[in-house]
């Protein structure tokens, strides 16, 4: 998938670190990547364990001037962005250029809702996490730590899914009409004449 115009990755049910490592390599090779549905990324470990890890992370600060960072983003898209940034030499020109080719979104905004989305098989939870192991959904963890847009994203996703289902039903009906028209006897004579002229 290297050097296509843009690659859209659906992050649903992917492991955070595994996905970040694959995306970082693609960015460094020059690939433009868009990651959608970041709120459904998974992190290994139970919710309690990850809440404790997040609480320890929140206490990290710059002692002389906390305004200088580190900045603790709570949106799932920003958490994924920061994870990927940690795997890229972002302070060099090469790394900064690579990070400029990355976009992360909660939900699936336009125009990416109508584009083909891909998955990363080596990063899928069903492939990387043993059955029965605990995992945490990043959107739930963010919601517990101050992310305010969980319900909004959920509502927009429901609207998008309904709209997508409506579009698919209309497309399927149109395809069925075309298939029925091709099989009908009404166009048999026309098709035979076109075939004789070498147009079929």
State the maximum Cα–Cα separation within the chain, in Å, rounded to a whole number. Answer: 86
Tens of pLDDT along 129-183?
Answer: 999 999 999 999 999 999 999 999 999 999 999 999 999 999 999 999 888 877 7
Spatial separation of the C-alpha atoms in residues 199 and 192, rounded to whole Å: 10
pTM (2 d.p.): 0.84
Tens of pLDDT along 111-139?
Answer: 999 899 999 999 999 999 999 999 999 99
Kindly tell me if the per-residue pLDDT of 3 is higher than 80.
Answer: no
- Look at 27-36, 58-67, 115-124, 171-180 and tell me which has the smallest mean pLDDT: 58-67
Helix, strand, coil % over all residues of the chain, rounded to 5: 55, 10, 35
């Amino acid at each position: 998938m290297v050097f296509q115009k843009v690659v859209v990755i659906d992050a649903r049910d992917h492991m955070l670190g595994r996905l970040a490592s694959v995306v970082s390599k693609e960015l460094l090779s020059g690939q433009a990547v868009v990651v959608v549905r970041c709120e459904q990324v998974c992190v290994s470990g139970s919710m309690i364990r990850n809440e404790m890890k997040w609480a320890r992370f929140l206490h990290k600060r710059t002692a002389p001037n906390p305004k200088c960072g580190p900045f603790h983003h709570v949106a799932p898209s920003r958490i994924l962005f920061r994870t990927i940034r940690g795997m890229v030499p972002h302070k060099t020109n090469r790394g900064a250029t690579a990070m400029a080719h990355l976009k992360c979104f909660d939900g699936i905004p336009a125009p990416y809702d109508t584009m083909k989305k891909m998955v990363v098989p080596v990063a899928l939870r069903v492939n990387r996490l043993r059955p029965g192991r605990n995992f945490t959904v990043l959107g739930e963890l963010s919601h517990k730590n101050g992310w305010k847009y969980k319900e909004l994203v959920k509502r927009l996703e429901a609207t998008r899914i309904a709209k997508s289902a409506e579009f698919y039903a209309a497309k399927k009906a149109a395809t069925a009409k075309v298939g029925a028209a091709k099989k009908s006897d009404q166009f048999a004579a026309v098709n035979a004449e076109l075939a004789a002229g070498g147009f079929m």
